[in-house]
Structure 1
Amino acid sequence: MSRNASESQFVTFSLGEEVFAVPVEAVREILDYEEPFKIPHGPHYLLGLRDVRGQGVPVIDLRLKLDMPKAMRTPHTRILVLDIPLGNKVLALGLVADKVFEVTPFRHDSIEGAPDIGVRWRSDYIQGVVRREGGFVVIIDLARLFSDSGSALASVAGGAQAVA
């Protein structure tokens, strides 16, 4: 619960030099990185499954999902375990981050929309952008980012096999 109705709490993390944020209420826990159990024939950004308190949780390399270059794992690499509402269900998902920074409030009036660059580009996953400390923080719309692949990921999480 935020301290002020005009602000919301976010967890900030990095992918390389870029800083991203997700709503704190979507973050179940933050884990040290462990190599996930590989799943054959999954999307290129699906690293595999990780056991999280008895539940098989798909682990996603967000860099690959966003068409960024793959990175080497470091001692700072973490997995954010998220609960993402998709329609009438909740998708449990592990998101690999190069580094997790903090939980921080952003005022609603400081959140700008995705920038318009005059051409179509895939910005629908951007919920907003916040100016901060000489840079920007991109707030990710988790439901939009995973809605097109959510059903395939949900079936992996539920242990069902994909049908070709």
Structure 2
Amino acid sequence: MAPTSVEAQFVTFSLDAEIFAVPVGVVREILDYEDPSRIPHGPPHLLGLRDVRGQGVPIIDLRVRLGMDKTVRTAHTRILVLDIPIADKMLALGLVADKVFEVTPFRHDAIETAPDIGAAWNCDYIRGVVRRPSDFVIIIDLARLFSDSAPAITAAAAPQRAVA
């Protein structure tokens, strides 16, 4: 008898018609949407700050960060409060999701790499893709997406060049 594959738990959510997932271990809590306090001159994806149990947490419009249209608030809009380990620090962020679905297990051997489409495409933020009977789930590499060295994802962000 072959050993069973190890599974990992993920929280699934939608942005527009796309389904995304993040590891359940980084999700601190899921909150109803409330408008954050604005931060002047922040990047377009930074909506502002929200108080989460006494801590000011930056709220990110993940749709904008991924180059999609701005989130339109509905009754299903939620904020996933995450603690993302990046290098030697813990980054607390709130990600706006159109809808949060469930915690679901994915077998490690069912997680495929991002597809190669034969063209220039920035898929650095994709940790993997899981095929389901009716759709695909994109697993986000949060540390890569939000690290200081993260490549520009939105069209509005200009590439930075090193100066010699």
Query: Shorter-chain TM-score: what band?
Result: 0.7 to 0.9
Alpha-carbon distance, 1:119 to partner: 1.8
Aligned to 2:44: 44
State the match for 2:119 in structure 1.
119
Q: How many residues get paired?
A: 147
Q: Which amino acid aligns with 2:12?
A: T
* Alpha-carbon displacement from aligned partner over 1:25-44 (angstroms, at most 9, x marks no partner): 00000000000000001111
Amino acid at match of 1:35: D
* CA gap 1:106/1:44 in 2 versus in 1, 3 angstroms: same
Distance 2:119 2:130 in 1: 22
Which TM-score applies when normalising by structure 1?
Answer: 0.87
In structure 2, distance between residues paired with 1:5 and 1:86: 28
Q: Which runs of 4+ in 1 moved over 4 A?
A: none
Q: What is the CA–CA distance in structure 2 between the aligned matches of 1:132 and 1:5, rounded to whole Å?
A: 17
Give 1:133 shift: 2.9
Verify: 1:81 aligned to 2:81, yes or no: yes
Cα distance per residue 1:59-118 (max 9 Å; x no partner): 000000000011310010000000000100000000000000000000001000001011
Check whether the contact 2:61–2:71 (CA below 8 A) recurs between aligned residues. no
Quickly say closer, same or farther: Cα 1:79–1:92, change in 2 above 3 A.
same
Query: One-letter code of the match for 1:43?
Result: P
Residue equivalent to 2:155: none
CA distance in 2, matches of 1:44, 1:131: 32
Consecutive unaligned residues of structure 1, counting only runs of 5 or more, are: 151-164
Residue in 1 that maps onto 2:130: 130
Matched with 1:35 is 35
- How far residue 149 of structure 1 moved from its aligned partner, in angstroms, is 6.7
**Structure 2 segments unaligned to the other structure (5+ residues):** 151-164
CA distance in structure 1 between the partners assigned to 2:65 and 2:120 by the alignment: 18
* Aligned equivalent of 1:68: 68
TM-score, length basis structure 2: 0.87
Compare the two structures and name the one with the higher helix fraction: 1
Deviation at 1:148, TM superposition (A): 2.8
- Structure with the greater alpha carbon radius of gyration: 2
